[in-house]
Chain A
Amino acid sequence: MGRPWKLSFISAIASFAMTGLAAAEVVYHRGNAGEPKTLDQHQTSIDVEKNVLKDLYEGLVAYNPKGEIIPGVAESWSIGGDGTVYTFKLRDAGKWSNGDPVKASDFVYSFRRIMNPATAAKYANLLYPIKNAEKVNKGELKPEELGVKAADDKTLVITLERPTPYFLELLQHQTGLPLHQASVEKFGKDFVKPGNLVSNGAYLLAENVPNDHIKLTKNPNYWNAKSVQIDTVFFYPTEDNAAAVRRFMAGELDTNYQFPIDQLPFLREKLGAQVRTPPYLALEYYAINVTKPPFNDPRVRKALSMAVDRDYLAEKVWGGAALPAYNIVPPGLNGYALADVDYKSLSQLDREDQAKALLKEAGYGPGGKPLKIEIRYNTNESHKKTATAVADMWKTVLGAEVTLLNTDVKTHYAHLQNRGDFDVARAGWVADYSDPQNFLFLGLSNNRVGNYSQYNSAAFDAAMAKSDVTIDPAERMKVLRTAEDTMMKDGPIIPLLNRASLHLVSNRVKGWVDNVQNDHRSQDLRIER
């Protein structure tokens, strides 16, 4: 190999990590795309935190490698009270890394903590379906009044405000991971530091050097420890993903999350099946300002949407790391039939013909009033290329005058959320839980922050409200579907693409399964060196 440094590097790490273990220790070098902002599951908000937290902790339920809900700490559960009472039976073998048993009261403590306004948890609202949760989070009720009770050490009862068919999906989110009450109370804010942190998952926290690495070692007290094959996991915050690709190619990383989309064809050629680009629940879209002429005219909005050649965007601009999207809800959600978009079945040329006709009808474009459009986007290579391509399409097909405007990400979203003036703006949404509601709520008229288009439809709002009180899952999906139909007809947004999650997975790594949830626990993997 001619790489003496590498051997010494690996052996140095290995010998460092080995504390009396056999020589066959398995180390996993995992590129994690960014620095976790926190290892406190109640402060967490992003996926790189999820990857670490789900290795450290186990919730009541979890995802298997395929992204299906499986029992976690809870070995079984039953649903009663017309879908409003969940009773979880906890495993007898469940233990914390310090040997304490995992008790129902740990979950009670944990849910109360996330709802406590003093915790200021970023994703507290995700668990608002729990009875009294919103009131507790607003400080109107005491945390003790939250609808989470421990019937005994191994039985947890969660009462909901109303039936929430996707509740188990919410529980698998990293905010649903339990906390070890004694250590949190003892160390306060410092409970997340190595040596203090007590976890109940497959791993425990050995080191945390910000911007360098996080080291996890196998938790011998984990109930399923015997099936955990990897002994040590190093998470690296590989923020410069082009550099991370080079490190992966040199064998320094076993897997890496995220790579530059521009390089996809090159990487496919060099690395073959080690490049993984499964679609996930992520929507890339353009919001149209429906309050401003000419964009308040649905015909203009539809024309703009039809003139976008999504196949080109998906294949060329995103190099196949995305699929064309016509709906606000991405495909892949169980039991949900996507709304029909009438022009989806047309060829692109026919779409363009109809788009021109629609625009003419509305009085714009060649022969009518000039159509001026400014596309706002946050600075990013992919967004720039997308905007460049869309501008070119609107220019050549519709004869529009298109300008681009980029700002840094905070300025961009602050502008949109503060209702700043814009024509068309780039936005994206990644699902927090696998349910159509998690996409459709973007169109609610009372969604002050996320409804950038300022879409306001009584019919849509009514359908969404109805879905909240519909208990039968199949019936509920139908109601949501009518909501999506309404929204797609009005077209306040232009769905562009469903993004793929981007991973490099070395051939050495076994057991990696692509899934739409983009959820990959180290404990499900093996490494063959």
Chain B
Amino acid sequence: MTDASLTSQGGTAARGRSLSTLALQRLKRNRAAVASLIGLALIAIFCFLGPFLSSHPNDRVYQSYVAVPPSLEPYPAAATLERTMQRALERARVDMGDFSASGTTFRVTLTSPRPIDPRVTRYIDRVDEFDDARVVETLEEGRRLVVEGTVQRQWFLMGTDMSGRDLMTRIMVGGRISLIVGLLATLVSLLIGVAWGAIAGYAGGRIDNVMMRFVDVLYSLPFVFFVILLVVYFGRNFVLIFVAIGAVEWLDMARIVRGQTLALKRREFVEAAQALGVGTGGILRRHIVPNLLGPVVVFMTLMVPKIILLESFLSFLGLGVQAPLTSWGVLISEGANNIQSAPYLIVFPSIFFVSTLFALNFIGDGLRDALDPRDR
């Protein structure tokens, strides 16, 4: 039988529960979907809890470590220490004598033709590599100082960005925004798009024409201005991101759903339901929408990446996330600018982005199969 719901007229409440439990059971049997769900959950945990565990705040600028490549070894590398010290002392306008570093401590001799102000240690503390610099010996009436301190070790497993911030932490906080925006905005677009398309397609005639011309109008309006006006008249507001994205992204969905509905409404089971006197709302809910699931689910999973990337364009116009906060879309577009000089800046955010979307695809396929009215 093509349409199982025909056989379950009547007890809607019981049917609703059994339908969802049935779907859940089927979803559980789909291994790819279950693995994807777990993967997605892990990514979400990484993004939402990660920043609390990370040793780097997402907006902390490490002036010494601008655009350093990813490394399992801690920074600073031993070979660079002497040069770093030299540069720090240049700024303090004293000369460097002996320098030695072992493990996490260093010892350096400073010389100058004039007595050296002991506050000079602040220049050493100031660079990210060194800390706790203190004068341990004063020689030649202060023209020669021996300073000791610790070498600060930092891990940047995914490197740092062009401003010297830890990329991994930024991927985490960026993921929060992108996951929320990607999923919620998709949901909003989905609801509007499916409702609009199904109604237009099912009603047909003049109503269909008016509703779909409205879609054409929105599709043709200059989006950039819409966003700029939102920013100018409503200021910065997280909700506006959903408004801006929701306003455009449901249009394609509505067109696809309407196309399917046009074909579905002539099918036998719909005509049978009409003959039985089921109302328009009931037919839409019970017969049209469940049979639209295939293309809708596929299209939804395609919409998520579009929306996440669209968010970075909104940031460009001043809507969306503002620096120093970030999102995956922003990270990826920043990475694309440096694709030759610092490829890791695009590789790492892309890995998270692509894995998330893979997971969503499998979940989507699983959901579609689980909810398919023909297969039960």
Contact = CB atoms under 8 A, between A and B. Distances in A.
Interface residues of A, number: 32
Contacts of A381: 162, 334, 337
A246 B337 CA distance: 12
A262 interface: yes
Interface stretch (B70-78, B129-137, B302-310, B316-324): B316-324
Given A246-B340, A347-B91, A389 B323 contact: no
Contact of B323 (A262, A348, A387, A407): A387
- Ordered nearest first, which 4 A-B pairs have the shortest CB separation? A266-B341, A407-B318, A392-B61, A404-B323
Contacts of A312: 63
A267 B341 CA distance: 8
B122 interface: yes
Interface residues of B, number: 33
A411 B162 contact: no
Contact of A408 (B63, B162, B164, B316): B316
B228 interface: yes
A316 B66 contact: yes
Nearest to B336: A242
B341 A265 contact: yes
Interface string B52-69: 000000011101001000
A262 B341 contact: yes
A253 to B, nearest CB: 16
A266 B123 CA distance: 28
B221 interface: no
Contacts of A61: none
A260 B337 contact: yes
B341 A316 contact: no
A129 B339 CA distance: 49
Contacts of A391: 324
B286 interface: no
Contacts of A245: 340
Interface in B228-276: 228, 231-232, 236
B371 to A, nearest CB: 42
Q: Which of B66, B316, B341 has the most CB of A within 10 A?
A: B341
Contacts of B317: 379, 407-408
Interface string A315-336: 0110000000000000000000
A263 interface: yes
B163 A349 contact: no
B163 A317 contact: yes
B228 A392 contact: no
Interface in A131-166: none
Given A405-B236, A406-B318, A408-B318, A349 B323 contact: no
A379 B318 contact: yes
Nearest to B322: A404
Given A388-B323, A391-B324, A407-B231, A349 B126 contact: yes
Contact of A392 (B59, B93, B236): B59
A384 interface: yes
Interface string A377-394: 001010011011101100
Contacts of A266: 340-342
A29 to B, nearest CB: 21
Interface string A334-349: 0000000000000111
Nearest to A392: B61
B92 interface: yes
B338 interface: yes
A403 interface: yes
A406 B323 CA distance: 8
A406 B91 contact: no
Contacts of A246: 340
A384 B228 contact: no
Contacts of A407: 228, 231, 317-318
A411 B224 CA distance: 12
| Dominant secondary structure at the A interface | helix
A411 B66 contact: no
Interface in A401-454: 403-408, 411
Interface string A356-400: 000000000000000000000001010011011101100000000
A389 B337 contact: no
Contacts of B228: 407-408, 411
Nearest to A402: B324
A246 B162 CA distance: 20
Contact of A349 (B122, B162, B231, B340): B122
Contacts of A316: 63, 66, 164
B236 A388 contact: no
Nearest to B120: A349
18 contacts: A246-B340, A260-B337, A267-B341, A311-B91, A316-B164, A347-B93, A349-B126, A381-B162, A381-B334, A381-B337, A385-B163, A388-B61, A388-B324, A389-B61, A404-B323, A405-B322, A406-B322, A407-B231
Q: Which of A387, A388, A389 has the most CB of B within 10 A?
A: A388
Nearest to A380: B316
A37 B135 CA distance: 62
Contact of A411 (B60, B91, B232, B324): B232
A222 B338 CA distance: 44
Interface in B281-330: 315-318, 322-324
A387 B316 CA distance: 15
A411 B231 contact: yes
A332 B63 CA distance: 30
Interface in A255-269: 260, 262-263, 265-267
A308 to B, nearest CB: 13
Q: Which of A311, A407, A411 has the most CB of B within 10 A?
A: A407
A405 B318 contact: yes
Contacts of B163: 317, 385, 388-389
A404 to B, nearest CB: 5
A392 B122 CA distance: 18
A291 to B, nearest CB: 21
Given A266-B341, A381-B337, A388-B61, 10 more contacts: A242-B339, A260-B337, A267-B341, A316-B63, A349-B122, A388-B324, A392-B60, A404-B322, A407-B318, A408-B318
A512 B245 CA distance: 49
Contacts of B339: 242
B338 A384 contact: no
B334 to A, nearest CB: 7
Nearest to B334: A381
A287 to B, nearest CB: 18
Contacts of B340: 242, 245-246, 263, 266
A497 to B, nearest CB: 16
A387 B323 CA distance: 9
A408 B342 CA distance: 27
